[in-house]
């Protein structure tokens, strides 16, 4: 079997050597070259044509985000970002994922992580997974027109926060995604119109800080309100709630109203937050018409939850089609369980949501 050819990009010679050593401990991986900055990365990506690139986010000169964009324009390559786990690093990483990066690994202790070996297994796993991503799935998310933000500002005036939305609603939408999910969420949520009257609950597999950055970024480009979910808050129509990293998201009904519950219960399907946990919770909200969407991601999280939802009377179940998935793992698992009603390419998922909730 031919080894996966990797290009390493990091401004620290120590980090370049350490990443090279960690990756080459796996015989399936071969480091083809190393680059010290974004300019070198762009030139070497063109010349060496690697299978996968690991890219540092923060570098002097051309940084990782600009190098990523240049590579995606010239010759798309699966890229795994390496990021510090600060709030600034999280925001930059989310931006990279929106620009077409496949996945990321958080450096345990900042930009120069002498303890990178702590995430060795994760790094190798994600590089191998990235090598399998079809080039057609690497396009960055299309940015919505700037009129979207202007429309939301005019329709949703702020008074210590955005207009909260209705307390009563007849439908609820639950979405689960993982690898490739930030780009997929960008495509779906930016297509929901201002005034969309139903709540949307989202699990995206990400650590703390990164989910907050994801929610903040989506809120600036979507016509609907997007925020990281807060324990105990009222669920309202016209809002999107992103599960915080390391917390399961469920919904409780009390006196005809619905409330967010966050918990640090054990991992499910290897994850916290878990899509299965969210889907199972929403499945029990029998007074509402419940809709479920499962999109790109590794593994099986969400498939069994969608099956239970179907058995408990889901109004609709939607899976992203294989041809647009960065990783066709989670949707495939749901399809194989026979619980998916609609298989839809990414670009048509929002339209399907609007149709099944009566807003087409």
The two three-digit tokens of residue 152, written as one number: 């939301």
Contacts of 316 (CB under 8 A, 6+ apart): 291, 292, 341, 342, 352, 356
Which CATH number do you get for residue 61? 3.40.50.2300
pLDDT at 159: 35
Active site residues: 178, 205, 301
Q: Are residues 222 and 349 in the same domain?
A: yes
CB 275 within 8 A of CB 294: yes
Provide the edge-to-edge strand list for the sheet that holds 171-177: 225-228, 239-242, 200-204, 171-177, 289-294, 316-320, 342-344
Whether 228 and 85 map to the same domain: the answer is: no
Rounded Cα–Cα distance for residues 82 and 103 (Å): 9
Residue 204 lies in a domain: yes
pLDDT at 84: 78
Is residue 18 in some structural domain?
yes
CA 27 distance to own-chain centroid: 29
Same structural domain, 100 and 75? yes
Determine if the peptide bond prior to 18 is cis (ω within 30°): no
In a domain, 62, yes or no: yes
The total domain count for the chain is 2
CATH at 341: 3.40.50.180
Residue 314 lies in a domain: yes
Given a contact cutoff of 8 angstroms between Cβ atoms, the answer to whether 9 and 67 are in contact is yes
196 and 77 together in one domain: no
Domain residues for 25?
Answer: 4-137
Beta bridge partners of 106: 83
For residue 87, cis peptide bond before it (omega within 30 degrees of 0): no
The pLDDT value recorded for residue 151 is: 53
Tokens of 100: 């077409």
Block residue for tokens 């930009």: 111
3-state secondary structure 33-56: EEECCHHHHHHHHHHHCCCEEEEE
pLDDT (tens, 9 = 90+) of the chain, 360 residues, equals 799 999 999 999 999 999 999 999 999 999 999 999 999 999 999 999 999 999 998 888 899 999 999 999 999 999 999 987 677 888 999 999 988 999 999 887 666 666 788 889 999 999 999 999 988 888 766 655 444 454 554 444 443 345 567 888 999 999 999 999 999 999 999 999 999 999 999 999 999 889 999 999 999 999 999 999 999 999 999 999 999 999 999 999 998 899 999 999 999 989 999 999 999 999 999 999 999 999 999 999 999 999 999 999 999 999 999 999 999 999 999 999 999 999 999 999 999 999 999 975
The answer on 228 and 344 residing in a single domain is: yes
Give 3-state DSSP helix, strand, coil % of the chain, rounded to 5: 35, 25, 40
Which of 118, 137, 156 is the C-terminal boundary of a domain? 137
Shared-domain flag, residues 89 and 230? no
* Nearest alpha carbon to residue 248 among 226, 223, 265: 265
């Amino acid at each position: 079997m031919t080894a996966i050819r990797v290009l390493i990009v990091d401004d620290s010679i120590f980090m370049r050597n350490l990443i090279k050593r960690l990756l080459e401990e796996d015989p399936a991986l071969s480091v083809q070259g190393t680059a010290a900055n974004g300019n070198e990365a762009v030139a070497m990506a063109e010349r060496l044509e690697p299978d996968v690139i690991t890219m540092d986010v923060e570098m002097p000169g051309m940084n990782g985000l600009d190098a990523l964009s240049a590579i995606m324009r010239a010759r798309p390559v699966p890229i795994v970002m390496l990021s510090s786990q600060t709030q600034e690093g999280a925001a930059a990483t989310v931006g990279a994922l929106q620009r077409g990066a496949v996945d990321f690994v958080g450096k345990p202790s900042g930009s120069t992580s002498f303890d990178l070996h702590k995430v060795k297994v994760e790094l190798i796993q994600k590089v191998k997974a990235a090598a399998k991503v079809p080039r057609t799935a690497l396009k960055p998310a299309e940015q919505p027109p700037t009129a979207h933000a202007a429309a939301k500002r005019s329709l949703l005036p702020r008074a210590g926060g955005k207009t909260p939305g209705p307390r009563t609603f007849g439908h609820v939408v639950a979405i689960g995604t993982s690898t490739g999910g930030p780009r997929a969420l960008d495509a779906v949520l930016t297509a929901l119109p201002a005034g969309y009257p139903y709540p949307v609950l989202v699990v995206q597999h990400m650590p703390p800080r990164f989910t907050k950055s994801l929610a903040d970024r989506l809120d600036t480009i979507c016509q609907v309100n997007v925020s990281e979910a807060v324990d105990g808050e009222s669920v309202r129509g016209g809002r999107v709630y992103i599960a915080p990293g390391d917390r399961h998201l469920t919904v409780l009904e009390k006196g005809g109203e619905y409330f967010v519950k966050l918990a640090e219960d054990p991992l499910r399907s290897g994850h916290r937050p878990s899509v299965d946990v969210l889907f199972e919770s929403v499945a029990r909200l029998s007074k509402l018409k419940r809709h479920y969407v499962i999109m790109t991601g590794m593994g099986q999280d969400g498939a069994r939850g969608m099956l239970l939802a179907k058995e408990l009377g889901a109004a609709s179940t939607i899976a992203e089609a294989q041809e647009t998935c960065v990783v066709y793992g989670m949707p495939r698992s749901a399809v194989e369980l026979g619980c998916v009603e609609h298989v839809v390419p990414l670009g048509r998922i929002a339209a399907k949501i609007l149709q099944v909730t009566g807003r087409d």
